[in-house]
Amino acid sequence: MSIAGLTAFSGVFALGVIFAIFGSIKLKLQEQIKIDDAKAGSLISALMFSCLIFSLLIGALTPALGFKVVGLMGFGAGAICVLLLAMAPTYGTAMLAFLALGFAAMCVNTVGNTLGPMVLFPGNPAKASNLLNTFFGVGSFLTPLIIGNLIGKAGYKATLGIIAALLAIPIAWTVMGTDFPAIEGGFNFGRAAGWLLNPAVLAGGAALFCYISLEATLGGFLTTYLADHKVDATKANNFLAMFWISLLVARLFTAFVVPQSVFPYYVPVLALVAAGSIMMMVTAKSAGAAVVAMLITGFVMGPIFPTLVGVTFGKTGPSAEVFGLIFAIGLFGGIITPRVMGGFSASGNIRKGMQVLAVLAVALIVISGVLSLAIPDLAK
């Protein structure tokens, strides 16, 4: 594999680590800085707000800086931010760390999801995106698995030091790379503005709003949801790891088994199952039933993000502007919904928050159906 390809896979791996870090340390971090679930939800929203700002800025700067420099900035900043979280004595320090982590996340996201399709499966962005994002799943499940099983033995700070080291490792090969392709034209704000009224971009962005709402909120609050079922912290982190594994397996299945002709119908069907499984989470009477419903939800959610990106590109053609816009619109869901969930959780009504997620899954059925079936492909 080329170093460019290895860096692309490392980018989506690092993004998985960054997006899973909050849910993995949530209970311990709340104890350390003495905050409730409402303020915890604000930390997730801060991360997503930062991602929103930097998704467009990094997209604009990447053509000038190059994938290599952006990757090095992302891996390095991610490691530093995790170390800052390990040492955070106050809510303000944690907030600063999560805001800076948004910069790191969008650097590695750009390297992974923009560079990756350029060097893998040209002409089939949905397949390339699903394969790449299996490594998002690897980062997402290793993070709670390592933290859940080491934090009681090595301590909170040392365990986060290991996570920081994982984020820093790709610097070793990225710095040696010479085969990174250039971005012709790059991100252009004028062109981006021209896409704002395109129905595929609006539908793709609205669909990602629903999806990122689901992923960010579930990833951040599943340990709290399981604690509501009297599951201890170590087991909760292991179940959270299983949730991310289910996303990984689903993306691998999609990349290698699902034919391209199925993609137009794929997301609406997955969203339908997700709506049902989230309602199973709402009504679960036992920890076992809750975990089963959670894993079903993770499995059907797995292929939604990469498939939505691929389907949208099928309507518009791949471009940094389209990806930046739909991702930015989607990040508003990650800003708003965790705060809503945090409010419900702080008042002891986390299941009511889950009902909000079920409504978003239903909205995703409709919006993704419009995107896939009512808006013509570029070739047509």
Tell me: the pLDDT tens digits for 81-136? 999 999 999 999 999 999 999 999 999 988 887 787 777 766 666 667 767 777 88
- Which region, left, alpha or beta, applies to residue 155 given φ > 0 means left and ψ of -120 to 50 means alpha? left
Say whether pLDDT at 380 is over 60: no
The whole-number average pLDDT for the span 240-264 is: 85
Say whether pLDDT at 70 is over 90: yes
Distances (CA, A) of 189 to 48, 59, 110, 193, 231: 21, 10, 16, 6, 48
Supply the pLDDT for residue 370: 95
Cα(82)–Cα(47) distance, rounded to whole angstroms? 13
Supply the pLDDT for residue 188: 67
Say whether pLDDT at 214 is over 60: yes
The 10 Å CB-count burial string (b at 16+, else e) for 262-271 is: ebbebbbebb
What's the chain's average pLDDT? 88
Say whether pLDDT at 162 is over 90: yes
Say whether pLDDT at 359 is over 80: yes
Of 10, 360, 365, which is closest to residue 168 (Cα–Cα)?
10
∠ CA 201-205-206 to the nearest 5 degrees? 120
Domains of the chain: 3-374 (1.20.1250.20)
Cα(81)–Cα(21) distance, rounded to whole angstroms? 11
pLDDT digits (tens, 9 = 90+) for 303-340: 998 889 888 988 888 776 788 889 889 999 988 998 88
Least confident of 243-257, 314-328, 343-357: 314-328
Say whether pLDDT at 186 is over 70: no
Supply the pLDDT for residue 13: 93
- Provide, rounded to the nearest whole percent, the portion of the chain with pLDDT above 70: 95
Supply the pLDDT for residue 125: 62
